[in-house]
Structures are given as structure tokens and as C-alpha cells.
Amino acid sequence: MKNTLYKSLEESGKILKEYMDKDFAVESKDIISNLVTEVDKRSEARIIEIIKAQFPKHNILSEEIGAIDKDSDTKWIIDPIDGTINYAHGIQICCVSIGIEKAGEIVMGGIFNPFSGELFFAEKGKGSFLNDRKIKVSNETIIDKSLLVTGFPYNTGNNPNNPVEVFAAFVNKDIPIRRLGSAALDICWTACGRFDGFWEYNLNPWDVAAGCLILNEAGGKVTDFDGKEYSIYGKEILATNGQIHDEMMRVIHGVKKK
């Protein structure tokens, strides 16, 4: 499966590079800021073509076409472009993300930014890698010295979890925070120690399937906002180096209690 995963990432990455800065169709989905491009669809079609050629009986869950159920215990979870808004505006902070779930557990994942040339990969129990170099999370233990990253859900204004208020709570502690626009890369950059922690609301399985395995295999920690075991099908994610995890939960809960 690893060879098919790598081929899928590389071939779809070529498509992203080919169309960057060219004219292509862009549409809105459920709300005006939730975009899908012609390139998302081309990337997705190529990935699925490669997977079906080698594993025609495997299930697929992909952002644009949804679920293809073959009654298999193996599922390929695909985001053909994570960071579509960035991509549509010519911002090269975006990637292809593919996770492989077997019997309910993510066992392999890869995330590729074709513009930076960075390919993150992990296999269950075998560590995480950036372009064949083993990576690990940071050793930062003090949240006030940390660099955090987050994103906002499309329904930020009506979200009952108060994402703006949580963001403000971290900012008011004078903690630097970045907002890059690609959850998959946010998690990978936490896995390799560039960031110390990440949180977000209302993500989908294709946003996080590969990234969460990469972070866990790099020595990090992923839970929901209450510290419970994380599910890629859940709506809350807290992903950190493990050292500042509890303190980040306290900040988030402090807002919830108000």
C-alpha cells in the first residue's frame, strides 16, 4: 500500500503544480467561503484511479465524491487539496492528504505539499518521516513559550464552541498563534516541532486522518477537548507535543465555563 500511497501523492501533486496560477473553475459548496475547484476534482480523480488500479475492492472516503463502499475493512481517506482557499488564491500553503484506515484504525498516512517538496509519512508503529528523515515533536514544556496554530470553522459566527473566544483566550496570554489555512499541514508542522500545539473545531476525517497518525508516531498527543481518545469522525481536535496538552485544555475549558 505504501507504493500506491506515494504514487497517489506524487501524481496528484503534479496536478496541483500544473494548475497553480492558471485560470480554473471555482465554486462554493454549502456556504460561500467553502470552496471547491476544478483542480480538487482532477486531483481526486487521479488519486482514486491509482488506488482502484491496485486495490479495487477497498473502500474510499474522499472530500468531493463522498463514500465508495466496497464492504472492505480497508478505507482510503482522501483530501485532494487541503487548503483549497489558499490554493484558489495562489498561496502555496496547501497539500494532498491521504490516510489509510484498516478495521477502524489509521495504519498509514501521507501528506504532500508539492510546492515546498515536503512529504510527511507515517506507518503505525514505525515512526514519522519528512522526506525520509525521522521527525519528532518539540520538547517545549511551558505554554507561554510555545508557538501554536489553529483554524476557524466556516460557521465561526454561529458556532456554540466559541472559537473566537478561545482564540482570544490564548492571545490574551501573549502566546503567539498562527493561522495557515491547512489543518493537515498544521498537524504535520506540530509533528516535526515547528509548532507546539494545534486545536480546531468541525474538521472532517479527510482533514485529519493522515496527520493524526503522523503526529502520534512523532511522539505527540491527540485528543478531543476533554482529553478523551480522539476519533477522526469527531468534531474537536487538540494535537500537541504532549507537554503542553493539559494546559491547552485548561485554557479551552476556561472559555467553555464562562
pLDDT in tens, the chain (258 residues): 999 999 999 999 999 999 998 877 777 665 554 556 789 899 999 999 999 999 999 999 998 889 999 999 999 999 999 999 999 999 999 999 999 999 999 999 999 999 999 999 999 999 999 998 999 999 999 999 999 999 987 655 566 567 888 999 999 999 999 999 999 999 999 999 999 999 999 899 999 999 999 999 999 999 999 999 999 999 999 999 999 999 999 999 888 654
If you count them, how many residues does the chain have?
258
Q: The C-alpha cell of 183 is what?
A: 489543518
Question: Which CA distances in Å does 240 have to 38, 51, 187, 192, 215?
Answer: 34, 31, 8, 11, 8
Ordered strands of the 59-62 beta sheet: 66-68, 59-62, 74-82, 95-102, 105-113, 118-123, 128-130, 133-135
* Pair 124, 165 in one domain: no
* Pair 91, 70 in one domain: yes
Structural domain tally of the chain?
Answer: 2
* Pair 21, 87 in one domain: yes
* Pair 130, 81 in one domain: yes
* Pair 178, 82 in one domain: no
Residue range of the domain that includes 201: 143-256
d(CA 206, CA 156): 20
Q: What is the pTM of this model?
A: 0.92
Of 83, 103, 135, which residue is a domain's last?
A: 135
